[in-house]
Structure 1
Amino acid sequence: MHAKKAKSEGDISNTDHLASDAHAVLDLFSGARNLSTPVWVYDVDNCRVVYANAQACKMWQAESEEDLCSRDMSKGMSSTVAKRLKQYQADFIERQTTFREMWTLYPNGEPVSSSVAFRGFRLPDGRMAMQCEVLERASDEPDNLRSAEALLHTDVKIALFELDGPALYMNPAARNSIGGPSKSFQQLFVDSKDYHVMMFELDGSGEHRMVARVTTASGKHWFDLSAKLCSDAVTGQPAVLLTAFDVSELKIARDKARYLADRDQLTGCYNRAFMHRLVEDLANASEVRCTLLYFDVDRFKNVNDTFGHEAGDNVLRELALRAQQVIGPEDIVVRLGGDEFAILLYEDADYVHVHQKAKVLFCNLSGPVRIGATSIDVNVSMGIADFTPAQTDFESALRQADIALYHSKREGRNRYTIYTSEMGAAALDRARFKTEIESALKQRDFVLHYQPRIDLRSGNVVSMEGLVRWKHPEKGIVGPDNFIPICEETGLIDSLGQQVLEIGFEQAMKWQDAGEYMHLSLNISPRQFADERLTDMLASFARKPGFPTDRIELEITENVLIGDLDDIASKLKTITDMGYRIAIDDFGTGYSNLSYISRIPLSCIKIDQSFVSQLPKSGPIIRLILSLGKQIGATIVAEGVETQDQYDWLSRHHCDQIQGFFIARPAPLDELGGDTG
């Protein structure tokens, strides 16, 4: 209790009212006037002394009782002391009790430490005041005095509990947070399991520390609790000394950080790192058997290109929701990245049941996704791998599921496949083949074979198409069907495509230097076309003196044109502005939308060999393409001509150029008689 001598007109006027209370209780304390110990009555609500004996006045260094009663005790009083006095008042109202504590008072700013007994006292107006009696002056040991003050003012909650009863002592911080002393140690815990764990540990070692939810006056909070078994210094009975720190904000922040660390922000699914840790933990449970489902969205790039990335994000959220609605309470859904997801299913007995669950999941994932007024057809491909975490790590299980997913893609998509050891062996062969291709790219073992195109009017060879072959050191010449799919799957197609252009451009320069007016066509894959480095490479060659850009034709398929047509048309115009020519290869078999014809700078249309092979049945379609070519001024080339009848039909209907086995198979230039380098 902090108080300093203060007299003002406001204080004196208030003193008159308070003095009447003192006179009303004077008879009750007539015997106290002659006591040798200081006794006074404190009005908690008004922060005033309303009665004091001579010893109290002396202790407070007051000239008289009226002088002491005129003082405003709130001046200089700490908030901790004010809260403590209010706690006493609440306890006095609730029940008859006495508190004995070491207090340091500050009469006129000088510290006086004493052991004080506090009792409730009802004023005539019905309010609860506090009778204070000094039992003994405290020793002058600084450590004792300072420890008492620290216990009073600290924000750390400190309480002493009976083992099976209410609190024996609470410092102000504990009382203000936990509530009344009638609460038992067990009643603190929100979860009874935490209490039993605490008591079990106390029985074993005599002390324990844990983070648990505690019932407080302001609700349920997380506390860092440290408890020790001890004895009550008054009764000698067993007790629990509790020290508590409110860690709710830290707990919430850590939980949120852990949630964010374990979750994918777009879908709310778990992420790859969490799955990895989970499977590592499961490795310690040898009986656990799991099934991993690995799936992605078929042609998800088309969804983003056609409907936008926001729509693509909505598709991913919907897929995550569909998966979570079907899985069991212990199963988890993970977003691995992009449009790739994994689902971990638990199965303790037989894989038959879990495979049935996988089938249900697969069926529920596919289906239209509505985004506003738009409906997007969504299908998934899935790979399934059974594994035991104690024997197989997560990455290995994921590779097996990925191999099965690859098999689903190759079989036509929109299906699921269960991994087998045969698939694993085939995947290993592909991996070895990929390594060989990487080595071949470094050694520049890829070459071009050339297939002539002839003009049907003159019968002359007017162009060569460069077709890549692998000059394998052991197997000889390897055709593109054996390595192009692997290159496309692994991304090596970018490096291969660049080498093809470099080889072809070098040959074009040789023809140029030799004075031969020969055109060259080279294929550009959809992935290579999407690579921003393509235009830079084309520009670097175009800047070379004498480079014949006007005789180089870059063939793209219709699938290249899927996406933002404005961006695609702009890129093609940039290329043609350098002098290159653009041809559409395999026309009529890909992106069936003729609207792009008028928007891109085409110089050539190549009729796919599937139409040529069906002549004369496919005649109307080919005549339509021939007419289209004349309308837009593009050269029409028929591919895959293999018979005299096909040749004659195309000649009669005025096709511009042809190529195929009927003319010549792809071969090195020296075998075609055209190597002028």
Structure 2
Amino acid sequence: METLRFEDCRAGLAASPLPVWVLDPEIPAFHWANDAALELWRATSVEELRARDIVSQAPPKVTARLASAVSRVRAGQRIREEWVFYPKGEPVVMTLELRAITLDDERFAVLNYALPMVELTQELQREITMARHLAMVCALVSATGEVLSCNPAAQECFEDTKAWLPWFVEPALGEQLLRDALAEGPAEVLAEVETKQGRRWHAIQAQHLRDPVTGDISVLVEHRDETERIEVQRLAADRGLHIDELRTALDLVEAQRAEILELSAPILDVGNGTLAVPIIGRFELAQRDALSERLLTAAAARSIRRVILDLTGVVEIDDASARGLEALVRALRLLGTEPVVTGVRASLARTLVDSRSDFVEVETLRSLAVALSRR
């Protein structure tokens, strides 16, 4: 389509009985208006109309719709849409025809013709306004997937507002939804779509109805953004899986820990009612508690007469461990079992004495071998 030049048609536009104005989208602001447009906009002059702020007070849906219209006109389209404007706060419903025009400095602008429109009832005006400002994406789609009309939310969400199927990451889902809506009535699908903000998850409802312009069967589609819900569900599922994996890992660690504790102080039945317990490592709290439980249980269950506690493999023992060893010895005696301590090195002997643990009445021998030879 050939682009008009403002200087070439200015005189004719000025004489038009219809309101005509030129919008400079770069500012954006009015660039020029004829007398009919000044009357429509309740403006005293073009200068006063230019000075008006037409963007900062406009709702986001309106600015998104305007940006989409400008983009389509810049691409060469000549479009016709219904708009509601509020010159000096009074609502005016009009049909606008928009096309490209080149200004004197060769910049792109939008030429607006306000066409005669059948007067709408107040109820219908409000319904149109509500539809324009819906946050939900809505579009009227032909049986082949062409977008016949869409609301500002759709224009704000998607780059391509001519075809509906390219909105889908998997267009086959859209094709199936169209077939279902046309054949069976209302249909719905949860699908991933390509938006200006990236990929999102939309719950999409579709139902067939007649195009009020052509009378052809078309499909009304409504998109509801479900991305946050899907992400929360996935996060919950992932966390549940991670918790299960963590529990499994902790159970394994605990089992390995129990095995290590058991190996660090194995209880050996050497016959004649005697148990030998070679203690290995630092003999810390966890090892001491585990040994006490296992050893006292075994001594009571088997009617053990004698228990040999061999400290040859003990690397280090502190005051608390020394007192714990003393407590174990006393507990064995209460069960009627004779405790014997072997393999006490010089450093361990000093620690046992410094801790004031009472091993005076406990039989102590040089080594496990000596204790076993005296059964």
Q: TM-score, normalised by structure 2?
A: 0.70
Distance 1:199 1:171, change over 3 A: closer
Q: Is 1:143 equivalent to 2:143 in the alignment? A: no
Distance 1:305 1:38, change over 3 A: farther
Distance 1:75 1:259, change over 3 A: closer
CA root-mean-square deviation: 4.6
Given that 1:163 and 1:185 are in contact with CA atoms closer than 8 Å, whether structure 2 keeps it comes out as no
Query: Which of residues 526, 540, 546 in structure 1 aligns to 2:294?
Result: 526
Within 5 A, what are the aligned runs for 1:265-664? 267=246, 300-302=256-258, 305=261, 525-526=293-294, 568-573=321-326, 598=349, 603-604=361-362, 624-625=370-371, 638=375
3-state SS, counterpart of residue 31 of structure 1? helix
Letter in 2 for 1:300: Q
Given that 2:141 and 2:149 are in contact with CA atoms closer than 8 Å, whether structure 1 keeps it comes out as yes
Measure, in 2, the Cα distance between the counterparts of 1:582 and 1:192: 79
Other-structure match for 2:240: 261
Distance 1:149 1:582, change over 3 A: same
- Per-residue Cα deviation, 1:644-667 (whole angstroms, up to 9, x for no partner): xxxxxxxxxxxxxxxxxxxxxxxx
Q: Is 1:62 equivalent to 2:43 in the alignment? A: yes
Q: CA deviation at 1:35?
A: 3.0
Letter in 1 for 2:128: A
Other-structure match for 2:26: 45
Letter in 2 for 1:225: I
Q: CA deviation at 1:251?
A: 1.0
Letter in 1 for 2:173: D
3-state SS, counterpart of residue 89 of structure 2? coil
Q: Is 1:163 equivalent to 2:143 in the alignment? A: yes
Distance 1:625 1:250, change over 3 A: same
3-state SS, counterpart of residue 146 of structure 1? helix
Query: Which of residues 104, 107, 117 in structure 1 aligns to 2:84?
Result: 104
Other-structure match for 1:458: none
Other-structure match for 1:246: 225
Other-structure match for 2:202: 223
Letter in 1 for 2:116: E
- Per-residue Cα deviation, 1:586-623 (whole angstroms, up to 9, x for no partner): 989xxx9867975586555699xxxxxxxxxxxx9876
3-state SS, counterpart of residue 108 of structure 1? helix
Measure, in 1, the Cα distance between the counterparts of 2:339 and 2:331: 24
- Per-residue Cα deviation, 1:392-439 (whole angstroms, up to 9, x for no partner): xxxxxxxxxxxxxxxxxxxxxxxxxxxxxxxxxxxxxxxxxxxxxxxx
Given that 2:340 and 2:362 are in contact with CA atoms closer than 8 Å, whether structure 1 keeps it comes out as no
Measure, in 2, the Cα distance between the counterparts of 1:265 and 1:105: 59
Other-structure match for 2:285: none
Q: CA deviation at 1:186?
A: 2.4
Measure, in 1, the Cα distance between the counterparts of 2:343 and 2:18: 105
Query: Which of residues 108, 111, 116 in structure 1 aligns to 2:96?
Result: 116
Q: Is 1:90 equivalent to 2:71 in the alignment? A: yes
Q: CA deviation at 1:226?
A: 1.2
Q: CA deviation at 1:52?
A: 1.2
> What percent identity do the matched residue pairs reach?
21
Letter in 2 for 1:52: A
Measure, in 2, the Cα distance between the counterparts of 1:173 and 1:191: 22
Measure, in 2, the Cα distance between the counterparts of 1:571 and 1:621: 21
Given that 2:329 and 2:339 are in contact with CA atoms closer than 8 Å, whether structure 1 keeps it comes out as no
Distance 1:576 1:98, change over 3 A: same
Distance 1:93 1:597, change over 3 A: same
Q: CA deviation at 1:578?
A: 10
Letter in 1 for 2:257: K
Other-structure match for 1:5: none
Q: CA deviation at 1:60?
A: 0.7
Measure, in 2, the Cα distance between the counterparts of 1:204 and 1:557: 87
- Per-residue Cα deviation, 1:247-281 (whole angstroms, up to 9, x for no partner): 2122111111122224436549799xxxxxxxxxx
Measure, in 1, the Cα distance between the counterparts of 2:8 and 2:112: 17
Letter in 1 for 2:206: A
Q: TM-score, normalised by structure 1?
A: 0.41
Measure, in 2, the Cα distance between the counterparts of 1:269 and 1:192: 41
3-state SS, counterpart of residue 116 of structure 2? strand
Q: CA deviation at 1:206?
A: 1.9
Q: CA deviation at 1:116?
A: 2.5
- Per-residue Cα deviation, 1:504-541 (whole angstroms, up to 9, x for no partner): xxxxxxxxxxxxxxxxxxx9741868xxxxxxxxxxxx
3-state SS, counterpart of residue 100 of structure 2? strand
Letter in 1 for 2:370: L
Q: Could you tell me which runs of 5 or more consecutive residues in structure 2 were left unpaired when the two chains were aligned.
A: 264-272, 275-290, 298-303
Aligned residue pair count: 330
Given that 2:343 and 2:368 are in contact with CA atoms closer than 8 Å, whether structure 1 keeps it comes out as no
Distance 1:185 1:151, change over 3 A: same
Query: Which of residues 156, 181, 184 in structure 1 aligns to 2:161?
Result: 181
Measure, in 1, the Cα distance between the counterparts of 2:314 and 2:126: 80
Measure, in 2, the Cα distance between the counterparts of 1:135 and 1:109: 21
Query: Which of residues 184, 206, 218 in structure 2 aligns to 1:205?
Result: 184
Q: Is 1:125 equivalent to 2:81 in the alignment? A: no
Q: CA deviation at 1:99?
A: 2.9
3-state SS, counterpart of residue 236 of structure 2? helix
Q: Could you tell me which runs of 5 or more consecutive residues in structure 1 were left unpaired when the two chains were aligned.
A: 1-23, 272-294, 308-452, 454-464, 466-522, 530-552, 608-619, 628-635, 639-677
Given that 1:189 and 1:212 are in contact with CA atoms closer than 8 Å, whether structure 2 keeps it comes out as yes
Distance 1:526 1:137, change over 3 A: same
Distance 1:225 1:604, change over 3 A: same
Given that 1:572 and 1:601 are in contact with CA atoms closer than 8 Å, whether structure 2 keeps it comes out as no
3-state SS, counterpart of residue 223 of structure 1? strand
Letter in 1 for 2:91: P
Measure, in 2, the Cα distance between the counterparts of 1:66 and 1:297: 80
Higher-RCO chain (CA-CA 8 Å, sequence separation at least 6): 2
